[in-house]
Amino acid sequence: MRLFGRKSEPVDPGALIAAFWTWWDEARPRVDVLVDAGEAGELAELVGPAVTALDASLIWEVAPGLAARHALVVSAAGNPELRSFAHRWALAGPAADERWEFHPSRQANPQALGLTIDVGGHQFGMDRFVLGVRVPPGTPRVNVSAYHPIFQDIDDETRMETTLLALDWLLGEDEVARWIGDIIAAEFEPIDAIPAIHLPGVVADVAQSFPADRWILMEGQTGTGKPLKATARFPLRPVDYPLFDQHIAITVPYRASDPDGLPTPETLATLTTFEAQLTATLTKNAVLAAHLTTENTRTYHIYASPTENTAPTFKTLTWPEGRPRITINDDPSWSAVAHFLT
């Protein structure tokens, strides 16, 4: 899926976002009238094309606000290619007031237990929504099997869509991406099901076991059978850094190695010194996600906000065995570190 859709001409995302907010300033009086009157159809006809002009894959809704009366939510709906765009959309918007606030993802609804919606002519009430939950040992994920009595009367796709919406109500869309693993929308109630309202507590317990700034060491082989070692943040999730969609790879060669191409103790000490230099160069607009060592090279994988022009700061880094090689590319889905994502 390409950012901003398939267009014959390159499109400036900043221009698209600016155009939306210009439209909003002009359209807001009409939006207010339609929201107050409960005219959902006319509201969709007014707001829908403006969101589609940003990108046809974005979804939107008007929801109760956390502080304001209403919230306009424009979400990437789990699409990593669009997550940073949605967040930049929200950041560029006007300040919240008593009537409107703006979010790039669905927020948890404190009144979730009392919500009821029509799903294909059936009433879906959160009070009858239950979950079977499993937490695989050592993983920062909660696997869920969701059930509601109407699930026996609706198709598979509708069951899953309803489940995802309900999970967003319970946790918020970003928390679902952060902590929820496998999701099953079941036709039959799990044997050990619990009321879904308890899911935030389960997630909070899991989160306590995985504090920030933990790292994990992994070993493996390259495609040619050479040994490699990798160190990555754990958990490592793009949703934690929604504006960091620029990938910066810094590769340093080393000569002194063991027969497998891995660094000797002396080289390892030099690499540790270089990493300290690299870490000191990082700002709040970039994060070291992982590094991989194999065949006499170590590559550091950094993700940064491209709007902050972070990359040039790394050109000041020094390495005693040659100039570090720096490559930069757009990578909103963090595909370069896909093996390390949790």
Model-level pTM greater than 0.75? Answer: yes
| Residue in the structure block whose two tokens are 């918007």 | 93
Beta strand 100-103 with 70-75 is parallel
Q: What is the pLDDT of residues 179-197, one digit of tens each?
A: 999 999 999 999 999 999 9
For the segment 135-167, what is each residue's pLDDT rounded down to a tens digit?
A: 999 999 999 999 999 999 999 999 999 999 999
The predicted pLDDT at position 4 comes to: 36
Nearest to 203 by CA among 289, 142, 263, 244: 142
109-to-114, 170, 327 alpha-carbon distances in Å:
10, 6, 42
pLDDT at residue 308, rounded to an integer: 85
- What pLDDT digit, counting tens, does each position of 195-223 carry? 999 999 999 999 999 988 899 999 999 98
Walk me through the domains of the chain, giving residue ranges and CATH numbers.
Answer: 13-103 (no CATH), 112-208 (no CATH), 215-340 (3.30.70)
Q: How confident is the model at residue 10 (pLDDT cuts 50, 70, 90)?
A: low
* pLDDT-based confidence at residue 84 (cuts at 50, 70, 90): very high
Mean pLDDT of 290-296: 96
- Beta strand residue intervals within 6-138, DSSP E: 59-64, 70-75, 100-103, 116-119, 122-125, 130-134
300 Cα distance to chain centroid: 21
Share of the chain above pLDDT 90, in %: 85
